[in-house]
Amino acid sequence: MQKFLIILGLCLMLGIGANAQSPSEAKPSFDCAKAKSNVEKMICNDKSGNLQNLDRYMAEVYTQLTKELKVSKFPDKEQRLKDLLDSQRAFIKKLNKIDRADFIQYSHNEEDAYEERSDFIQHSYENRITDLLKLLGKVLDSNNKELCEYARQHDEFDESKWQELPPSINPPFSIGLCAFGSNIKYGVFYSYCTKKREIKKEAEADILDLKGYPYIYKRKIDINNDGVLDDVVLSIGNYFGALAIYKNGKLDAKASDKIYGDDLHFHGEKTEEEVCLENEVPCFAFQTYAMPSNKISGIPEQPEFNPEFPILTRLNYDVMEFKGKNYIALYNRRFDDFYKEENTTYPKRRIYLLKGDKRELKCTY
């Protein structure tokens, strides 16, 4: 990639749009009209939008890492900034060295070679983003030491602060049940909820007999730290723990959309395989809902919405209170390895601070 891509993390400030983007609307961190290298052109021509999303996401992570390093108190922060820039340049240089010939000799045809090359670029981006997130976690730990230490010691769901709701056809129970897709391992979910995320009239008796997952809770809390109490519903089920804000008995999609973090970007082999071992349906969620700038599709409207595909598969959200402020606590299970006691490849915990329309990542570990 050219020089404007080398400094992608130093000067790029991306705003979060009001609406989710479809794959056809996905954009990388650079101007495709100025794409010159083969890698840049492949990214711009990727019809799925995956490569554009990953390129833009990498820029977002790099930008925040640079910003956090600049305000850190590390005695060697100038050297750390230089090392970061050097490693980013090395990553881009390596991508530019990817030669079509390296893939065509091992493939049956040109099309297969293109797909293999595209997959290699995608995996390279995912690995680079993971490395950047690890570095970001260390810097955030230093910049927000007291908060991050508290988060590590208080990472269990505190049920005493929430009111559990009995099964009901009315909000907020119906919001917790229907808003984000299937959260019942053995339930035929579309027999309960419509595409408009409302309970079907013919399913009302079945809803009232529900036992076990999902458990629905509600609570009044200033989740945006703007001095106003919000009505919040928490749904904990087989596949996710989701927070949602509701007003006047309806899901407040715009307000709820501010809660979700950048784990929604990751999809594909690195997450899909392990999820499929448990249930094949949630696999589709990663390819369908991973968007740039932490956005998800399906809220408030999504013509192709299928409630059998959970939007927030294997993500668990909660609220953590610390020194008079409320934080969003996220536990990401998408990278769990079922065959090992612990997976250390990717940061699982995220602590966000919401302040009105602004979301700040404070800890990741």
The domain limits of the chain are 3-143, 152-364
The sign of the dihedral angle between the CA atoms of 188, 23, 265, 93 is: positive
Q: What is the pLDDT of residue 117?
A: 80
d(CA 103, CA 112): 9
CB atoms within 10 A of CB 77: 16
Angle at 269 between CA 267 and CA 270, to 5 degrees: 75
Q: What is the pLDDT of residues 101-120, one digit of tens each?
A: 555 455 555 666 677 788 88
**pLDDT given for residue 292 in this prediction:** 61
Phi, psi of 272 (to 5 degrees): -65, -40
**Tens digits of residue pLDDT in 197-251:** 889 999 999 899 888 899 999 999 999 999 999 999 999 998 899 999 999 999 9
Q: What is the pLDDT of residue 223?
A: 96
Which SS3 state, helix, strand or coil, does residue 259 take? Answer: coil
How many Å apart are CA 20 and CA 253, to the nearest integer?
12
> Nearest Cα to 356, choosing from 244, 223, 252?
223
| C-alpha span between 42 and 39 (Å, rounded) | 5
Report how far residue 69's alpha carbon sits from residue 143's, in angstroms, rounded to the nearest whole number: 9
309 phi and psi angles, rounded to 5 deg:
-105, 100
CB 144 within 8 A of CB 363: yes
Element at 174 (helix H, strand E): helix 173-178
| Nearest-angstrom CA–CA distance, 199 and 54 | 36
Q: What is the pLDDT of residue 19?
A: 31
Rounded-to-integer distance, Cα 258 and Cα 274, Å: 28
**Global pTM value:** 0.82
The closest of 112, 104, 98, 87 to 39, measured between CA atoms, is: 98
Q: Look up residue 347 and give its two tokens.
A: 């940061």
The structure tokens listed for 121 are 């670029």
Please report the beta strands in the chain, taking only residues with DSSP state E, as ranges in sequence order.
163-165, 215-221, 230-236, 240-247, 250-251, 315-322, 325-332, 349-355, 358-364
Sites in the chain below the pLDDT cut of 50: 1-21, 104
3-class DSSP state of 194: coil
Q: What's the start-to-end Cα distance of the chain, in Å? A: 31
- Phi, then psi, of 184 in degrees rounded to 5: -125, 120
pLDDT at 5: 33
Residue 177: phi and psi, rounded to 5, are: -80, -40
**Which helix (DSSP H) or strand (DSSP E) does residue 73 occupy?**
none
Q: What DSSP state is assigned to residue 164?
A: E
Distance CA 213, CA 189 (A): 12
Q: Within the chain, what is the greatest distance between any pair of CA atoms? A: 65
Separation CA 297–CA 315 (nearest Å) = 16
Q: What is the DSSP letter of 199?
A: B
Helical axes 77-96 vs 38-45, angle rounded to 10°: 80
The reported pLDDT for the residue numbered 39 is 86
Task: Return the pLDDT at 232.
Answer: 98
Backbone angles phi, psi at 351, to 5 degrees: -125, 120
d(CA 160, CA 164): 9
- Please provide residue 339's backbone torsions phi and psi, each rounded to the nearest 5 degrees: -100, 0
Tell me which residue of 361, 147, 169 sits closest to 249, measured CA to CA.
169
Number of other residues whose CB lies within 10 A of the CB of residue 292: 27
Tell me, what's the pLDDT at 262? 77
